[in-house]
Amino acid sequence: MNLTQEEQDMLSGKRGPGIQKCMEILVKVGEAFGAKRLVPIRSAHTMPKEPPTLLEEMTEGVTSLGVNICTQHALMSAFDPEKAEEMGLHPVFIENELKDYQKRDEIYKRLGFYPTNTCMPMLVGNVPLKDQHISWIGSGAQIFANSLLGARTNRDGVVMNLAAAITGRTPEMGLHLKENRYAQIVVTLDTEIDVNSLSDIDLGAIGYMVGKIAKNRNVVFDGLPNDMDLDHLKYLIAPLSTSGSVAICHIVGITPEASSLDEALGGNKPEESICINYSDIVKELSLFKLQEKKDIDLVILGCPHASIEELKFVSGLLYGKQIITGRRFWMGVPSQQYYLARKMGHVEGIEQAGGYLISSCMATVPDNPIPEGVKLVATNSFKVAHYVKALSKGNIKTVVLTLKDCIKSITV
Ligand code: F3S
């Protein structure tokens, strides 16, 4: 790999042991994947789940980050240092998580990470532009950056991502190269479908189905209205990286690199074309359907994290209502949106009804510390339905209901 003089100095240890370690990681991975050079990144988004000893090692002697904007991903496993106990998470899990959280937090503060705690960093000011190289973590954030902003990130893991944030560089490979970003599968919706009338869960069902077909291939949706709002796009594309491992999904007319279908395909022929009709949506929804009337123990919303509009909507739905005793309600929200919502008066209604607004991973990835006694979870997110069921090895059943029906299912 061709390194600049500055990068060679970093690699040789002249800039300290932490930067040397990070550079070794980047060069090793880059060489394994045939990268010719490193490219500077414009922003990073890191996950506060590194083993503290590794974090210490990779930041030894480091005094500042290699990139100006480095937001932090949602805290993982539905963990919130202040609310975990009330939420009913297991005490042993809380104790362990708290220790690691405090150790990591000291380092984050010293180096200037932004404590945004969200999987939607673009909602809180981390907004890279078309063609800018970035290193973001979290499958939801990654697919958003690639697909809606046109910024370039791979599906970096915790270690690669931290090394990129510390050095301000990443190997030029995978989705950092234009030729790897073109769509391979074209998806259209049957003309009988009125996209504007699709609900949050209809859109999620489409994304979940397409993810299974696409696996790790690049997708393009053609024919969608170009005035879809961010929340609708969120429900549509987030599940692509859950049932599959799609990292970029062009939407013709919306994605900066897809002003036309031909541009999204890079002039190539698609490997596959699929058309989705209503019966496909119904079939996908039936995967997480309540077969008989049963009490919902826990409602989880905010995966990906809720926008201020969603918080406002939920606060309105909960106005004057109470969550039934013994049931629970969790909603994921970026730290800053929480404070904004509080200023706007949307937090009280939710909290007074008995709900929890937290800035962590609502699909409980990777530890699944859901309180004992919870047997049935309702959500409007296919990601939550998929992961909670899988991580609990099927011991917790999950159903997908619209946001309104989720609220209705646990309130009086
Ligand atoms: Fe966010 Fe976790 Fe869902 S990080 S996108 S809440 S899976």
CA 190 to chain centre: 28
pLDDT tens digit sequence for 36-48 = 999 999 999 999 9
Could you read off the pLDDT of 307-355 as tens digits, one per residue? 999 999 999 999 999 999 999 999 999 999 999 999 999 999 999 999 9
Which ligand 1 atom minimizes the distance to the CA of 362?
6
pLDDT of 291 over the 90 cut: no
Before 48, cis peptide (omega within 30)? no
- Closest residue by CA, ligand 1 atom 5: 304
Whether pLDDT at 406 is above 90: yes
Distance 251 CA to ligand 1 centre (A): 22
Cα of 14 from ligand 1 centre, angstroms: 38
Q: Please name the residue whose Cα sits nearest to atom 2 of ligand 1.
A: 361
Mean pLDDT along residues 265-285: 98
Q: Which of 80, 144, 362 to mutate to test the pocket of ligand 1 (most atoms within 8 A of CB)?
A: 362
Decide if pLDDT at 292 tops 90. Answer: no
The mean pLDDT of 2-27, rounded to a whole number, is: 98
Q: Give the CA distances from residue 173 to residues 1, 97, 115, 136, in Å, rounded to whole numbers and listed in that order.
A: 12, 34, 29, 15
CA of 323 from ligand 1 middle (Å) equals 23
pTM: 0.96
Average pLDDT of the chain, as a whole number: 97
Between the CA of 388 and the centroid of ligand 1 the distance, in Å, is: 11
Q: What is the pLDDT of residues 179-206, one digit of tens each?
A: 999 999 999 999 999 999 999 999 999 9
Structure confidence by residue, pLDDT tens digits, 80-136: 999 999 999 999 999 999 999 999 999 999 999 999 999 999 999 999 999 999 999
Report the pLDDT value the prediction gives residue 51, as an integer from 0 to 100.
Answer: 93
How far, in Å, is the centroid of ligand 1 from the Cα of 63?
A: 30
What does the pLDDT average to over 280-304?
96
d(CA 364, CA 85): 15
Ligand 1 binding pocket mutation candidate from 72, 76, 116, 119 (most atoms within 8 A of CB): 119
Read off the pLDDT of each residue in 124-152 and give the average, rounded to a whole number.
Answer: 97
Q: How confident is the model at residue 303 (pLDDT cuts 50, 70, 90)?
A: very high
| Ligand 1 atom closest to Cα of residue 302 | 6
**What's the CA-to-centroid distance between 136 and ligand 1, angstroms?**
14
Going by pLDDT thresholds of 50, 70 and 90, the confidence category of residue 5 is very high
**Is the pLDDT confidence value at 245 over 90?**
yes
Structure confidence at residue 353 (pLDDT): 96
Cβ proximity of 23 and 10 under 8 Å: yes
pLDDT at 290: 87
Protein residue whose Cα sits closest to atom 3 of ligand 1:
303
The Å distance, Cα 139 to ligand 1 centre, comes to 8
At 161, the pLDDT band (50, 70, 90 cuts) reads: very high
Ligand 1 neighbours (beta carbon < 6 A): 74, 119, 138, 140, 238, 303-305, 332, 361-363, 365, 383
Kindly give the distance from the C-alpha atom of residue 4 to the centroid of ligand 1, in angstroms, as a whole number: 37
Mutate to test the pocket of ligand 1, among 49, 142, 303 (most ligand atoms within 8 A of CB): 303
Express each pLDDT in 203-239 by its tens digit.
999 999 999 999 999 999 999 999 999 999 999 999 9
Distance 343 CA to ligand 1 centre (A): 25
